[in-house]
Amino acid sequence: MLTQIHATLANTTWLFFLVVGLWGLLRAVRGRGMSSSYLGALVVGEGIYVLQAVLGFILWFGGDRPGRGGIHLLYGIFAIVFLPFLFGVLRGDDSNRGQWVFALATLFLFGVALRLVDTGV
């Protein structure tokens, strides 16, 4: 049951980051800066990754480990720390440049989510 929830949430994760990434690109192309709505979406996305990690650790310590567990764990840790790291580097930059960075970062995290699904099988 928990494995199925983890797998379903994994699909939600890559789809969420694809949508948020495309939304961010649209905002960036239009010359807009970061908005509170977009930042809120980034927080929700971060929360999804954290929830995935909690479920993954419960499965891991319960003995249900993926075939390429080490790589899966490495991608998962990266996915959790990447957005907060970028926010710290940009120091709250809410300009159009910041929008471009976060739009491309969320599209990158979309790719990371797909790799997590691939390594988790």
- Contact partners, residue 108, CB within 8 Å, separation at least 6: 82
Q: pLDDT band for position 80 (50/70/90)?
A: very high
Of the chain, the percentage scoring pLDDT greater than 90 comes to: 83
SS3 88: helix
Q: pLDDT band for position 78 (50/70/90)?
A: very high
Other CB atoms within 10 Å distance of the CB of residue 9: 16
- Contact partners, residue 118, CB within 8 Å, separation at least 6: none
Q: How far apart are CA 104 and CA 107, in angstroms?
A: 5
| Neighbour-count burial of 1, counting CB atoms closer than 10 A to its CB (0-12 exposed, 13-18 middle, 19+ buried) | exposed
The residue behind tokens 């960036």 is 28
Over range 93-103, report the average pLDDT: 95
pLDDT tens digits for range 47-77: 999 999 999 999 989 887 777 778 999 999 9
Return the pLDDT at 114: 95
